[in-house]
């Protein structure tokens, strides 16, 4: 619909605006994480600071499907501009926060805007670029995340050390204003012929259900044990909420998530595979930096670059995927990607103790190449199976699946890691039992220069084994994702083959 009204020159400006907008969301978590010591030192509330990230991920994820539907009803342009404005208001409010609770609340406001950004940027890219061009454009958009992984901590640390942590939020404002101006001038969008009725009850049900499930995944293993009656209560309430939401959506005239999203095998398969991919990205993100510092013994900067090396090959393979999916189809390209990821994870499992920087970088580069061949074909694939008026919904469902997978992965892999760690500490030799630290002090002891050499050596082996078990979990998820893709139809849709 929008391809017809965009000139070649204006598309370049729109892409620049989309990349700037994406950078707002991409850099946010990394830039905030670096400044946490200064924020806590100024505002206090150390026990609450993890909610700066949890509230953001929670609200962003559960609002994405709603914004996807709204973008189909009212058009992408007004939803994206609204999202950027709300994000900037949240940023300004964060800069003026007076305590940790207010900062957490304003981070929630930021996330309301971030949900609109994530739901519409990829949809606009699909609107204005052809099927042949989309892989290259997704490569450009993916590169934003790679650059952000490096620049975010650098900028955040510099501002926190030499200016004030409040500037990490204020620098969003000129970037956001610039993107709004370019989108307003260059993005020409045909007005929808008629506006559908908004399913507000369904939107509320999705927010409540999604919020409850995400909250439970974040708190499980921390506020309560996974094997407990609290978990059974959580599962029971979640099941009731999901059933009620499905009933509400089934009766709605224009549901937020129509039933055809869950009935088309190709969309179900692609979204389940996207959940698997999102889940797998959390293994390295959560444990590799600490593994690099505690077991191999590198510094924080080197550990950060080991993790960020994945961001080098991800956009490259994402750009290359276009030539591949035009020849062998979307599903088969994603199968190539998950196969590469499985090989990368298996390589980590065969790495001898204690590992090396070169080996970790090699694994990360290989995983990035695999993820690039999964993420872009699945995103472009689902977008190509529907018309303009449904593209926002399928894009929103795909982005929701990715972030839901990340939340699921964070919960599952944290439970695996902590379980193995506690078992190893319990099974320690008798002569070490009294000298070993508590679970929440293991990393501190590993990084201390004054720790007993025998204790430190044992803890390094424990950490090595615990991380290996996490990667066994990654391998399991990878194999399940491979099976899901094999069961997904090879060809599908009136527009393009899947």
In sequence order, the 6+-apart residues with CB closer than 8 A to the CB of 142 are: 314, 315, 318, 372, 375, 376
Q: Which of 26-35, 142-151, 162-171, 442-451 has the lowest mean pLDDT?
A: 442-451
**pLDDT at position 497, please?**
45
**What is the rounded CA–CA span in Å between residue 153 and residue 62?**
26
Hunting for tokens 């899901």 — which residue is that? 484
Q: Is the pLDDT of residue 94 over 90?
A: yes
Second-level CATH architecture of 8-193? Up-down Bundle (1.20)
60-95 burial code (b ≥16 CB/10 A, e <16): bbbbbbbbbbbbbbbbbbebbbbbbebbbbbbbbbb
Residue 16 token pair:
């620049």
**What is the rounded CA–CA span in Å between residue 183 and residue 216?**
37
Chain centroid, CA 226 distance in Å: 23
In sequence order, the 6+-apart residues with CB closer than 8 A to the CB of 418 are: 221, 439
Residue 256 token pair:
């937020």
Angle of helix 8-34 relative to helix 51-74, nearest 10 degrees, comes to: 160
What is the average per-residue pLDDT within 488-492? 71
In sequence order, the 6+-apart residues with CB closer than 8 A to the CB of 144 are: 19, 22, 23, 26
Query: What are the C-alpha distances in Å from 364 to residues 52, 140, 146, 163?
Result: 27, 20, 13, 34
Q: Is the pLDDT of residue 422 over 50?
A: yes
Between CA 204 and CA 211, with CA 208 as vertex, the angle to 5 degrees is 130
235 or 458: which carries more pLDDT confidence?
Answer: 235
Looking at beta carbons, which pairs linking 343-346 to residues 24 or more positions away fall under 8 Å?
343/370, 344/370, 345/280, 345/471, 345/474, 345/475, 345/478, 346/475
How high does pLDDT run on average in the chain? 82
Instruction: Dump pLDDT digits (tens) for 439-484.
Output: 666 666 666 666 677 777 787 888 888 889 999 999 999 999 999 9
7 or 434: which carries more pLDDT confidence?
Answer: 434
- Widest distance between CA atoms in the chain: 77
Indicate the DSSP class of residue 166.
T
**pLDDT at position 493, please?**
46
Indicate the DSSP class of residue 448.
-
Domain ranges of the chain: 8-193, 197-253, 260-490
Instruction: Dump pLDDT digits (tens) for 334-378.
Output: 999 999 999 999 999 999 888 888 999 999 999 999 999 998 899
Task: Place 78 in a pLDDT band, splitting at 50, 70 and 90.
Answer: very high
**What is the rounded CA–CA span in Å between residue 70 and residue 80?**
10
What is the average per-residue pLDDT within 308-312? 84
Q: pTM to 2 decimals? A: 0.82
Query: What are the C-alpha distances in Å from 71 to residues 10, 391, 405, 433, 443?
Result: 21, 9, 23, 59, 45
Which helix (DSSP H) or strand (DSSP E) does residue 236 occupy?
Answer: helix 229-251
**pLDDT at position 191, please?**
62
**What is the rounded CA–CA span in Å between residue 355 and residue 296?**
7
Peptide bond into 354 cis (omega under 30): yes
In terms of residues, how long is the chain?
A: 498
**pLDDT at position 392, please?**
85
260-490 folds as Growth Hormone; Chain: A; (1.20.1250)
Strand partners, 224: 220
**What is the rounded CA–CA span in Å between residue 445 and residue 260?**
53
Residue 31 token pair:
């830039």
> Do 122 and 379 contact (CB within 8 A), yes or no?
yes
Do 8-193 and 260-490 fold alike per CATH? yes
Between CA 367 and CA 374, with CA 373 as vertex, the angle to 5 degrees is 90
**What is the rounded CA–CA span in Å between residue 69 and residue 72?**
5
């Amino acid at each position: 619909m929008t391809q017809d009204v965009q000139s070649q020159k204006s598309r370049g400006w729109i892409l620049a605006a989309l990349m700037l907008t994406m950078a707002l969301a991409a850099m946010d978590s990394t830039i905030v994480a670096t400044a946490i010591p200064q924020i806590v030192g100024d505002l206090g509330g150390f026990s609450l600071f993890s909610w700066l990230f949890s509230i953001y991920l929670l609200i962003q994820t559960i609002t994405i499907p709603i914004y996807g539907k709204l973008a189909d009803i009212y058009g992408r342009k007004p939803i994206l501009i609204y999202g950027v404005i709300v994000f900037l208001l949240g940023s300004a409010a964060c800069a003026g926060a007076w305590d940790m609770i207010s900062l957490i609340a304003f981070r929630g406001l930021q996330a309301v805007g971030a949900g609109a950004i994530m739901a519409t940027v990829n949809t606009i890219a699909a609107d204005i670029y052809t099927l042949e061009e989309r892989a290259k454009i997704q490569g450009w958009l993916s590169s934003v995340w790679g650059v952000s992984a490096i620049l975010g901590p650098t900028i955040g640390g510099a501002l926190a050390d030499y200016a004030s942590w409040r500037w990490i939020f204020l620098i969003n404002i000129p970037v956001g204003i610039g993107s709004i101006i370019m989108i307003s001038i260059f993005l020409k969008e045909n007005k929808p012929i008629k506006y559908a009725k908004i399913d507000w009850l369904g939107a509320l049900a999705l927010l409540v259900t999604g919020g409850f499930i995400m909250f439970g995944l974040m708190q499980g293993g921390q506020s309560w044990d996974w094997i407990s009656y609290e978990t059974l209560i959580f599962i029971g309430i979640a099941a009731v909420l999901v059933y009620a939401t499905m009933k509400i959506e089934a009766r709605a005239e224009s549901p937020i998530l129509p039933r055809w999203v869950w009935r088309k095998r190709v969309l179900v398969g692609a979204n389940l595979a996207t959940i698997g991919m999102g889940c797998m990205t959390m293994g390295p993100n959560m444990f590799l930096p600490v593994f690099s510092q505690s077991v191999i013994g590198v510094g924080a900067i080197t550990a950060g670059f080991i993790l960020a090396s994945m961001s080098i090959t991800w956009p490259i393979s994402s750009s290359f995927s276009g030539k591949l999916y035009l020849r062998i189809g979307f599903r088969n390209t994603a199968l190539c990607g998950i196969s590469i990821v499985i090989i990368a994870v298996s390589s980590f499992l065969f790495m001898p103790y204690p590992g090396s920087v070169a080996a970790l970088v090699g694994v990360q580069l290989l995983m990035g190449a695999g993820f690039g061949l999964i993420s872009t074909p699945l995103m472009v694939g689902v977008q190509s199976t529907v018309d303009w008026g449904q593209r926002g919904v399928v894009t929103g469902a795909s982005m929701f699946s990715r972030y839901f997978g990340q939340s699921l992965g964070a919960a599952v892999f944290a439970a695996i890691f902590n379980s193995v760690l506690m078992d190893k500490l319990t099974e320690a030799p008798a002569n070490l039992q009294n000298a070993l630290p508590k679970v929440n002090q293991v990393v501190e002891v590993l990084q201390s220069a004054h720790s007993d050499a025998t204790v430190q050596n044992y803890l390094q082996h424990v950490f090595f084994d615990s991380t290996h078990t996490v990667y066994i979990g990654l391998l399991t998820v990878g194999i399940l994702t491979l099976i899901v893709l094999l069961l997904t139809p090879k060809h599908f849709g009136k527009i393009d083959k899947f």
